[in-house]
Amino acid sequence: MKNKLQVESRKLRIRPSAGGAGRSAPVPGRSNGERPVDLDFSEALAGFTLLRPRRARSAAFSLVEVLVVVSLMSLIVLALMAVFTSTQRAFRASVTQSDVLESSRAAMELMASDLRAMTPSYGTNNGPVNFFVNTNSSYMPLTQALPGSSQSRTNVLNYFFVLGRNNDKWTATGYIVDATSTSPLYPLYRFYGETNIATSPSVLYYNFMNSQYTNMSHLMDGVVHLTVHAYDTNGAWINNNVYNYTNAQNIYLRPTAYGEPQLYMYSNTVPASVELELGVLEDRVLARAESRPTTALQAQYLSDKSGNVHIFRQRVSIPNVDPTAYQ
């Protein structure tokens, strides 16, 4: 209901104009000399409503509108954050995988190059060692469950020695994983030595077996699996479980360890080919395993991470094999 503004009654007095000097102009309804008529407009204005002028409405959002906008913006930001996080995770995984592949392939190529340079020493009385493979006794094989299967895979670490010759000097290389190190975890080291051709190369094998890790080259970390298998000229695996290989001379077979053969080769005997198998952990899984304080906890953490181990396998032919050693 509209508020009505009460209008104060006013009496309007009609005064004579200044037309004559001291004389009033004639006013309708009265004769000269009459007093001015007072007109009352209160009754005439009683039927009208005088409205107060409205103020300009301010342009602003209500509280409900603000809450709706904030909620929508929050949902959009959360969706964008989820997409960004998944993209970052995929990018980091691809970078990590690329790093693992690159470093592992480089290590495989280096080992393959050293194996191709293997040369018989032609020593007598089983003197200098041409080729040697042994199982790392300080490493408890890491058993990992295979995804989607009830089976498991056992990771074993071998270390090996290779004798070579470069013009007028003997060279030797060896590879071993330090299974006792907890940080870095499972580091792979490379030994290198050389001596004059006039000196017996036996000293190189001795130096390798007694060398400290600080005197070797650190190649990479996270090597949980490294096996080396020797093959004869017919392509048979040389081991002491099944004697199906050619009767090679100057080979000493030690008892197997975790199913892996251990052997020495002397004189004119070297393998016709060698198969390398390398298993490397991804960087992120390796970093998390290193954060565990004990070896048991590290092995427990890695027991179900077989999907994060990259396996590399390569068969290397030995050009300097002496066929007469297998006759």
Beta bridge partners of 229: 275
Beta bridge partners of 95: none
> What amino acid is encoded at 180 in this protein?
T
Residues in the chain: 327
- Rounded to the nearest 10°, the torsion over CA 27, 33, 34, 39 is 40
Q: Are 173 and 190 in contact, with CB atoms under 8 Å apart?
A: yes
Q: Which of 285, 287, 320 lies closest to 304, judged by CA?
A: 285
The whole-number pLDDT of residue 290 equals: 92
> What amino acid is encoded at 265 in this protein?
M
**269: Cβ–Cβ under 8 A, 6 or more apart, which residues?**
120, 130, 131, 248, 249, 250, 251, 322, 325, 326
pLDDT in tens, 48-82: 555 566 665 666 788 888 999 999 999 999 999 98
**34: Cβ–Cβ under 8 A, 6 or more apart, which residues?**
27
From CA 267, how far away is CA 20, in angstroms rounded?
Answer: 156
pLDDT in tens, 248-306: 788 888 888 888 989 999 999 999 999 999 999 988 899 899 999 888 899 899 999 99
Q: Which of 300, 13, 261, 323 lies closest to 140, judged by CA?
A: 300
From CA 274, how far away is CA 158, in angstroms rounded?
Answer: 13
- CA-based end-to-end distance of the chain: 123
The whole-number pLDDT of residue 191 equals: 97
The whole-number pLDDT of residue 38 equals: 56
The most confident of the ranges 17-21, 82-86, 104-108, 239-243 is 104-108
> What amino acid is encoded at 13 in this protein?
R
From CA 108, how far away is CA 110, in angstroms rounded?
Answer: 5
* pLDDT at residue 11 tops 50: no
Q: Describe the chain by its helix, strand, coil percentages, rounded to 5.
A: 30, 30, 40
Helix (H) or strand (E) holding 102: helix 63-116
CB burial of residue 285 (10 Å; 0-12, 13-18, 19+): middle
Q: Please provide the average confidence, as pLDDT, over all residues in the chain.
A: 83
Phi, psi (deg, nearest 5) at residue 3: -80, 130
Report the pLDDT averaged over residues 142-157. 89
Q: What is the C-alpha radius of gyration for the chain, rounded to an integer number of angstroms?
A: 49
